[in-house]
Amino acid sequence: MNFVKGDMQEQDPDEDAGQDAGQDADLVGTTIGALPVAPLAMPRQVLERPGRLRARLAALFGAGIRTRGLGN
């Protein structure tokens, strides 16, 4: 592929294989033009508490069983 402008270049993941970028380049895929490198973290949000009620009940019963096991 030909590029007519200065720093416009294509990075193909196949060409990057074995280089430092390694796995990251696979995820980036193909780029044309130098996207700014300016990471902004996106922390995962908590949207559900899986099995909250079940977990609490299990903990409650579990505590009871453990307590009984101790002879109290």
Partner 1 sequence: MSPRQTSLPRTWAARGLALALSIGLGASAGALFLQYGSGDGLQAMDWLRSGLILLSTFWLAWGACQGLLGLLAWRAPPAPADPAPADPALADPALADPLAEAPAIRGRTAILVPVYNEQPAPVLARVAAMDASLAALGLTDRFDFAILSDTRDEEIAAAERRWFLRLVTERGGEGRMFYRRRAVNTGKKAGNIEDFIERSGAAYDFALILDADSLMEGSTIAEMVRRMEADPKLGLLQSLPRIIEAESRFGRAMQFSASFYSPVFARGLAALQGRTGPFWGHNALVRLEAFAQSCGLPVLAGEPPFGGHIMSHDYVEAALLARAGWTVRVDVDLEGSFEEGPENIIDYAKRDRRWCQGNLQHTRLLMAPGLKPWSRFVFVQGILAYIAPLFWLGFIAASIAAIVLAPVPDYFPTPYDQLFPIFPHNDTAKAVELAIGIFGLLLLPKLLIAAHAGWTGRARGFGGGWTALRSTLVELLFSSLIAPVMLMYQTRSVAQVLLGLDSGWPTNNRGDGTLGIAEAWANSRWIALTGLAGLLFVWWLTPALVAWLLPVGLPMLFSPQLIAWSSQRGGAARGGAPRLFTVPSDLAPSPVILAWKHVLASWTAAPEGGAAPPAEVTEPQTAYA
Binding site for partner 1 (CB under 8 A): 1, 3-8, 10, 13, 26-50
Cβ proximity to partner 1: between 57 and 65 the closer is 57
Q: How far is the CB of 61 from partner 1 (least distance, A)?
A: 22
In this structure, the number of other CB atoms found within 10 A of the CB of residue 31 comes to 13
Distance CA 31, CA 21 (A): 14
Q: How far is the CB of 23 from partner 1 (least distance, A)?
A: 10
Choice between 18 and 50, CB closer to partner 1: 50
For partner 1, the closer of residues 12 and 63 by Cβ is: 12
Q: Least separation, in Å, of the C-beta of 60 and partner 1?
A: 20
b/e sequence 42-67, b meaning 16+ C-beta within 10 Å: eeeeeeeeeeeeeeeeeeeeeeeeee
- The β-bridge partners of 11 are 31
